[in-house]
Amino acid sequence: MPMMILAGLPGSLEKRVKSIFSTIAQFPEGWELSFMPSKHNNPEIYETDIAKILDFAKEHSESHIVGVSKTDGTIRKTVAGGIRRYFRFRWLKNEALNYISGDREKFALHISHIIEEEQVWLGGVKPRDAASALLLPQGIFACERRFEEMWQRSESFGDINNTRASAVEIENFSQRYFQSSGDAGRRWIDCNTLIYSHHGPRHASAPFPSSWKYSFNLENGFHYDVNHAEGRPFFISDASGISHKAAKGMHINLDPHGNVR
């Protein structure tokens, strides 16, 4: 069952939210609600809280993290950047915090709208299996310009129509690049004629949190065997910008976050 994790609420506000969904409203059906309390007196999340949030999220197979924080934009950007590659992440609007102590029914309605959008994300955007497009490493898998921001658009929130459009884009991307390659079955082939095969043996396990991507728990040892479709030598740059060379007929092991394994 998917779980919304409210991260960053101080204990006093957490109690009020629990009261809302036990007295005046029912939490949306088919979802669970959990809390990652703030260790601060105010609704706040800092970079030092990221590791604890990630550890908490990995205990649930379908974690959707909703961050609650009144910190400045720079801090919020850092926090989001440290989470959203691994787990679905969005911010709660700061104005919604006022509803917790004021218009409690409005807060419950706001949460229901969030869940509605997250359900769309869950059904059409979140990776489902090892063949999912979003598991490919952004910026490394060469694609047409119109698809280059697909990964970033999948992380967007606040507009359910944008989330629906992201699901359509992923489907179009898959139709374009997930191609049949004879007896090897369907594999990803990029614009540089590099094959990203997800069928290879599992080895070179990624450490946590790189073992997760977009709330999808990667199979232990999962990676792509990247080789040239015509067996030619090639170069590929990893997530750190380091260039790696594959000799003729050879391949490179690359994980979904762009790390060479």
Cβ contact 150:214 at 8 Å? no
Say what the pLDDT of residue 200 is: 85
HEC secondary structure over 223-250: CEEEEECCCCCEEEECCCCCEEEECCCC
Alpha-carbon distance 177 to 75, whole Å? 37
Nearest to 163 by CA among 207, 116, 224, 199: 116
Q: At CA 167, angle to CA 93 and CA 261, rounded to 5?
A: 95
Alpha-carbon distance 83 to 186, whole Å? 31
- The residue range of the domain holding 28 is 3-124
Give the count of domains, the chain: 2
Say what the pLDDT of residue 180 is: 83
- Tell me the average pLDDT of the chain: 95
Give the pLDDT mean for 229-258: 96
Same domain, 153 and 239: yes
Tokens of 183: 């007896």
Same domain, 104 and 142: no
Same domain, 85 and 137: no
Work out the end-to-end distance of the chain between its first and last CA atoms, rounded to an integer number of angstroms: 32
Q: Residues 147-187: pLDDT tens digits?
A: 999 999 999 999 999 999 999 999 999 999 999 876 668 89
Give the pLDDT mean for 231-252: 96
Alpha-carbon distance 234 to 215, whole Å? 32
Give the pLDDT mean for 57-66: 95
Same domain, 158 and 247: yes
Alpha-carbon distance 96 to 110, whole Å? 7
Q: What percent of the chain has pLDDT over 70?
A: 99
In this model, does residue 261 exceed pLDDT 90? no
Tokens of 96: 């919604």
Nearest to 193 by CA among 138, 136, 234, 134: 234
Tokens of 221: 């040892």
Q: Would 260 be classed as within a structural domain? A: no
Domain boundary among 124, 153, 176: 124
Give the pLDDT mean for 110-116: 97
Q: Would 197 be classed as within a structural domain? A: yes
Q: Would 259 be classed as within a structural domain? A: no
Give the pLDDT mean for 191-213: 92
Q: How confident is the model at residue 41 (pLDDT cuts 50, 70, 90)?
A: confident
Alpha-carbon distance 88 to 63, whole Å? 7
Give the pLDDT mean for 43-54: 95
Say what the pLDDT of residue 39 is: 84
Q: Would 186 be classed as within a structural domain? A: yes
Burial of 244 per CB tally in 10 Å (0-12, 13-18, 19+): middle
Q: What's the CATH number where 16 sits?
A: 3.40.50
Strands 63-67 and 3-7: parallel
Say what the pLDDT of residue 183 is: 67
In this model, does residue 238 exceed pLDDT 80? yes
Say what the pLDDT of residue 49 is: 95
Between 90-94, 200-204, 229-233, the lowest mean confidence (pLDDT) is in 200-204
Same domain, 98 and 156: no
Question: What global pTM score does this model have?
Answer: 0.94
Residue 131 dihedral angles phi and psi, to the nearest 5°: -95, 10
Q: What length does the chain have?
A: 261
Same domain, 89 and 165: no
Give the pLDDT mean for 118-130: 97
